[in-house]
Amino acid sequence: MPRKYQEEIFIRAQSSNIIAALDTGSGKTYISVLLIKWIVLQPHTRGKVVVFLVPKVALVEQQAAFITSQTPLRVRKFHGRLDLELSDRANWKAAFEGADVVVMTAQIFLNVLTHSHWSIDRVSLIIFDECHHTRKNHAYNGIMREYFQVDPVERPKIFGMTASPIWNPKDAEGSLQTLERNLDATVIAVREHVSELLENSPRPVELIKEYYPPPDHYLYLNPNLWDTLSYFRSDNVDIPWDKLLMKYHVTRNSLGPYCADLFIYHDLRPRISQILYQMETSWKEQLGDPLTLYDDENYGTAPMDVDGVLEQIDAILTDFQSWFDSSPPSHSSSLLHSSSSPPTPTSTITSSTLTAVTSHQLPTAQSTVPITVPLAWCSPKVKALTEVLLEYYTSTFHGIVFVEQRQVAACLAKILGNVPELRGKIQCMELVGHGGGHGSGRHNSASGGARGKATVSVRADVKGMGLARQQDTVKMFREGELNLLIATSVAEEGLDFPACDLVIRFDPLHHMVGYVQSRGRARTKSSSFVIMVQAGHTAHLSRYTMFQSSEPELKRVYQSREGPTRPASPGISSDSEEGELEEDDPEDLAVRERYIVPSTGAVLTYGSAIGIINYLCSLIPHDAYTPPPMPKYSGDYAAVLELPASLPLPIDKLVYRGPPRNSKREAKRAVAFLAVKALHKLDVFDDYLLPITGSKGRSEHDADGRRLMDVSSIPEILDVQVREPWTLGPRLRMHVITIDGVDAAGLVTGTELPELELMSEGHTISLRCTDELVFDADEELEKLRMLDDYTKAGIWFCVTGRPITRLMTCFVVPLTEHNCIDFEAMQRVIDEPHGTYDWTGVTEADYDHLMVMNCNQYGRALILHNIRKDLTARSVPPPGSREATHATYEDYFVEHWTRKSRAAFVPTDCPLIEVHSLPRRPSGLYRPMGRLLDVDALRTHAAPVGLIVPQGACRRTHFSEGVYRAFLFLPRLCRRATDLYRAREARFQLGLPPIADDLLIESSALPTTNAKWNNQRLETLGDSVHVMNKYPHRHEGQLSQLRQSSVSNRTLLARAKEIGLERFLTSEGQNVHVWRYTVPEEEDMLSHMLNSCHAVQRSFPRRSLQDCMEATLGAAFLTGGIEMALHAGGALGVSVGSTIPWSVRYSRRPESSPVPPLFSELQSVMGYEFHRAVTHPSFATSSGASYQRMEFLGDAVIDLVVMRHLFQKFPNATSGQLSAARSRAVCGPTLASIAVRRLGLHKHLLINNAELSTAINRHVPLLEMLMPDDVIVKGWKYDPPKALSDVLESLIGAVLIDSAYNFERTAAVVEVVMSDILEVLTTNLPRDPVSELMVWAATAGCKRIAFQKSQSNADLRRNDSISVVVHEAVVVGPITATNLSLMNLARLCNCGKAVLERPSQTDSSVESAVEETPDLTDETEEGFATLAKQKLDEDYAPSEHEVVDIEDTEDVEEAGTERNGNAMEDCQAILY
């Protein structure tokens, strides 16, 4: 239940915007929850959200958890580690729409407003926690500036919470007015229930503890660690000595010499370990093949250029280790051997050794120093602190010591437990913020490398605490595992601590807020607040005295005011605290601008401009050898901004000059503001002021800016009406079935079918429409019933072997010599559907043509081969025959034909006849004419299986040979007619270009058809070229994102639904044992004819739509090249710009320019100028950007050319085989080998980076020696610099551009350059170890495997080791690079028995995981299992002897089993 003073504030907050000024621990957050519950019930707030803002990340989790526990509302939280990508508009919108309350850091919400993901007028209430930060350029103030731009009627309610509303005690009224003006709210305090407030928020006793100044000399080591290291200080080692010296003296003055050395030790140890590690890595790489780095024979002499300074520093740190580090002794200097003493594998730094060597973190309370620390080694300040702690210590003691700097907090936390006077009493840990420490922070450039520095710069000293560790520390303190925290200002406000018995200000107070906030942690009735002041330091003492004495008066300022007047909008005033150095000048504030994009409402301000520029630069791709592109600011009061040269902008658009301002910070903001405005006009930023339009395929618009429909409501399984020709209507069409040039039968249906021709078993079957079929009105139904009964009988005999109950939608009919329906022949079949026992008139001319049926085996069609008048049922079978096991034929027949329900009918007074089983074809699978195999073109020569039966037991049927052959091929005819009909309907209704029928059929065939006309990756590169030319000023990272948005599953699905592509997809399987071409069960013939519909209900996954979109583009490319693909893309709504050919759309007049001598030889070989194509980003020139944009284009060209080559070379390969072969051909090592071995591009590459040049020179000999088959099979072993493969891709992109976008000409160049690689490519490539592991996991059914990344050296700031974890057991690793052994994995796995067959293609769980989880990772068991399933599906390819062909026939043994032939047809895949 709320307390009365909380209700008082809550009631006043309902009527107006207020700032609740209450002490820490008084329950301000609970008041905000009451206000949230109240406001969500107000009618005018429907559809709006409550925004709860906090200044620090840790508070997001804390406040969100509290609101969730107190309300049933939907609460979402966002902070730096949880928020969505800034460009992910769709999910930002969904997140806000799906929440009632959002808790977030202020900067994230300001970003959301800046880019118009949400707006102020859609917020009902904004709560500002620790609202005293709403000043100057804090994000709180930026949010309120946007608030004031909204019409007052649409503004949300404001509720601020703070314990210290006044920053400047010398101008209390001015501070209050500024805060009230900025927040559009009134500061209030409790007036009616003050006594209750005081009871629940008691004030601590405040004490001053003086300490003596630090002495000049201590009874301590001489020389100490710093003095010893100073002798070997060298600029050749990249260590920030000056900054270390500054922090050393700060720590020494504050804590004493031991802590100062402790800080230096733990700062330098990881730096030196990092340098040694990088030197060793570089040394090993020089040996050659990375896979042999750990082989004994590859360890030679140590590098000759190891700086002796480094060795001395490492030795000194090792000597002092026992003083400062409790970890085992290290041997990090083992690398530093002389050339006469080569290291052995055991003495070299391995992963395990590095772990021991580099476990030196900055001091933490989780491990203390290894020795007792006497107070003689500590400063008088630490001695005074010890005295205070001893005085107030109890068994239930809780305390906080506030310090200013992180290294002070860490060192103090580490030594206090080892001070003899405090041993066993104090369990402490530091609590600091998230940020990093100091360090050079720069990436070594070529000039740095030229100076001979040993390594890139290292940021290895004072680390901030991660969120999880902060939470764990607070939890341990709350639960009593710790009784003392050494904290920086992060603990002053917001975090939920238990009330402390003792709070100590170890370092001086600087402002009123810090005084009030830190004191608020001591809020029990017996708490003490101790201020430590150096004796004789009157400035610090007077500041504290002023804070203490002025606080009551300051409170009276806002407690006693009655209805203070609040300005209607923010004005210009000083909101500075006392002692701040630089304020925002009023003149600067007066001339600030706002830039609003009219189409979206996105807002650019001076406060957001710098962040937007930084975001743009962060997306620019760069390799390991190129410093991260950063904007450069110069000038003082008139700033100049220089953008990275890797942005594809004219040289005059890379530099911006800002207007003069009265402060340096404002000048920097002003020039950034001008730059963003200019870049928006250049289309570098979109209308949301974002450099990219979407995140991982989740954009709301495609590359052309067209809005995409919302696909979230589309179900996973679609129920659609698919186009279908098989229907009956008032007008029937007659089609003639021709077999080998002879008209065999007719096919009647209500749709005019397209003419077609197919070949099977050496027979050519064709279908043509002749005329309309008209019946007399009075006999139409009777005739149709005859057609229906006749067709059912033929399908029963020749196709399905089972009766059909539904009405037919197509009829096979016998024809007269004039191709009219032979109703007499039909009537004979209808009258005697099983045939007749009358054999009169049967002659030898009927042999091998007459269809008969054995009455003992109904439904099995036989062909008469011979009448054996010399044999009867009582004859003796000859030796060796099937019937020779019995005395007579009769005995054999009786045994085999007798059933429980009937006796065998075996007449003995008639001759026997020889018959052949008529092979049924219950499959519609066929091969297009362009893909025929020998089995299609040649007639089957295998001898048919012969049987002998009594003539009297057989009926001869009334089906002519032509008719029953037409029935045999009917499933394939129907399937082919359906495919052609849908393809041509799609071409007409969607406006597609004249794509080849067979390719269009394949593009719309889903995997469920089992036709294996793979439609899943038929793509084109049209969008790559389009986005490059449409956005000439966007860099490669932006172009890649645009391309991804254009071809993402979401985009393709949206476009497919917009055009209704699902109406033309084929999902039916090939098997027609159950005849599917029938009238729906609930309809009769008359109603069906009157309401005929050319559609049928089908169901298939929605992901089939995006696959078929890609496949249709690929089919168009295969038919008519790039131009037809552009037409198809336009018809499908894909972002390809227009249907105008590239050569016309992007044509330009040739410009003659002198060729630099460096490139003349290469240009003479290639026939193109490619100066820009071979400029590395490190080589910044005034001529423009580097090769990265053309690399983006060349990558797509090479991909497409290689895929087309594979498709044509291996027509029977599966999609997985083609993808695997393509990946090997276009991977970095392969392209790098081509660049070096074939073209020598490393000689032409313009580089201004010594490290990259060294790496390239080291790999060139290896790449020159690699044979094509080696690089294809073992390419994964090598890791040459990416610049080598990039320059080849950019060269191909340059060829495409310079050839006026002539794709075929460019493809010819690619095929020549890659000829030896393409020649050795095969579809049966050995898997790499990772794929091998995944395939093993998928076939074994194991779902408890994952990769686990780790750090061999925690201070390297990167994961450089990996382990294989099976059922939570580490079976391999952590290792860096080795082959994975799968020998013992099965012992650990109990997921299921190893199933070596391929998993079902319809695994819905896996499919849904792939569909709904775009960011799969192999570092989780679920992600690994899904990726392994995909890998198995891709790699699975049955061997030739496993493939069952479509011509396999029905087994004629008495068991009566039937086999369906399923052809695993060739697939197609073309990448964009």
Query: Taking Cα atoms as reference points, which of 1389, 1347, 1353, 1340 lies closest to residue 1370?
Result: 1347
Q: What are phi and psi of 658, to 5 degrees?
A: -90, 165
Tokens standing for 1410?
Answer: 């792939």
Is position 687 annotated as part of the catalytic site? no
Beta-bridge partners for 430 = 486
CA distances from 1191 to 365, 1142, 1243, 1292 (A): 50, 18, 18, 8
1189 and 648 Cβ atoms separated by less than 8 Å = yes
- What stretches of 1285-1413 adopt beta strand conformation (E)? 1345-1350, 1361-1366, 1369-1375
Tokens standing for 1178?
Answer: 């490190």
C-alpha 51/C-alpha 56 separation (Å) is 15
* Amino acid found at 1065: L
Is position 1289 annotated as part of the catalytic site? yes
C-alpha 705/C-alpha 728 separation (Å) is 45
Q: Is 20 exposed, middle or buried (CB count within 10 Å of its CB: 0-12, 13-18, 19+)?
A: buried
Cα dihedral across residues 581, 587, 590, 596: positive or negative: negative
Q: Which of 1195, 1251, 1435, 1447 does the annotation list as catalytic?
A: 1195
Cβ neighbors of 176 (< 8 A, separation 6 or more) are: 165, 166, 187, 557, 558
Residue that has been written with the tokens 């205070």 in this structure = 388
Cβ neighbors of 336 (< 8 A, separation 6 or more) are: 276, 302, 306, 310, 311, 314
CA distances from 1228 to 293, 819, 855 (A): 21, 65, 70
Query: Taking Cα atoms as reference points, which of 1037, 1003, 1006, 996 lies closest to residue 1020?
Result: 1003
C-alpha 1291/C-alpha 1285 separation (Å) is 10
C-alpha 1127/C-alpha 1107 separation (Å) is 18
How many CA atoms lie within 13 Å of 1012's alpha carbon, on the beta-carbon side?
24
C-alpha 23/C-alpha 524 separation (Å) is 13
1025 and 1140 Cβ atoms separated by less than 8 Å = no
Mapping DSSP onto H, E and C, the string for 195-259 reads HHHHHHCCCCEEEEEEECCCCCCCCCCCCCHHHHHHCCCCCCCCCCHHHHHHHHHHHHHHHCHHH
1088 and 817 Cβ atoms separated by less than 8 Å = no
* Amino acid found at 446: A
Residue that has been written with the tokens 């350029």 in this structure = 137
Residue that has been written with the tokens 């007459």 in this structure = 850
Cβ neighbors of 988 (< 8 A, separation 6 or more) are: none
* Secondary structure (DSSP) of 10-79: HHHHHHS-EEEE--TTS-HHHHHHHHHHHHTTSGGGTT-EEEEEESSHHHHHHHHHHHHHH--S-EEEE-
620 and 1037 Cβ atoms separated by less than 8 Å = yes
543-571 b/e with 16+ CB inside 10 Å = b?
A: bbebbbeebeebbebbeeeeeeeeeeebe
C-alpha 415/C-alpha 373 separation (Å) is 7
Query: Taking Cα atoms as reference points, which of 1308, 1319, 1321 lies closest to residue 1227?
Result: 1321
Q: How do strand 399-402 and strand 502-505 relate by DSSP bridges?
A: parallel
Q: Which of 890, 1036, 1289, 1418 does the annotation list as catalytic?
A: 1289
Query: Taking Cα atoms as reference points, which of 345, 352, 347 lies closest to residue 336?
Result: 347
Kindly list the catalytic residues: 1195, 1289
